[in-house]
Amino acid sequence: MTEILFYHLQHQPIERVLPTLLEKSIERGWKVVVQGSSEERIEALDAHLWTYRDDGFLPHGTWREPEVAAQPVLLTPNEGNPNGASVRFLIDGAPVPADAASYARIVLLFDGEDEEALAAARERWSEAKSAGFDATYWQMDDSGRWAKKA
């Protein structure tokens, strides 16, 4: 059954949180697709992932590259799963895909300081539960670790 994980971001931008979650996915041997809301946002995220750490490398590519199927992490503003990912990250309000049940895990990151993002996440939570998905809610604790809240 597909898990849908809701990550409630507070006081930390996606640019700080997403790379760590992507690294953990790669360590587990998972292919990932990250869907954002616009081409500009994906291009900015692509540039960020090349420079976010001096001592590491996060292998990734964008939907515009010729070998998308070989990318362990694929950044895209589009639906679809061209790299055969088992995990899909949704950022900036990207919609839950129609083929959500084909993934092992959907990770929805939302800005907890944005009322519209909170309302959209609550709606998606209700939809996920109604559809029978295994939905969990995560929030960062005071020590900077993700804690399962629901």
For the stretch 92-107, pLDDT in tens is: 999 999 999 999 999 9
- Confidence band, pLDDT 50/70/90 cuts, at residue 141: confident
- CA gap 22, 60 in Å, rounded: 10
Range of the domain at 39: 3-148
Please report, rounded to a whole number, the percentage of residues in the chain having pLDDT higher than 70. Answer: 100
Assess contact for 135 and 128: CB atoms under 8 A: yes
Q: Which residues pair with 85 in a beta bridge?
A: none
Q: What is the CATH number of the domain that holds 101?
A: 3.40.50.10110
Number of domains composing the chain: 1
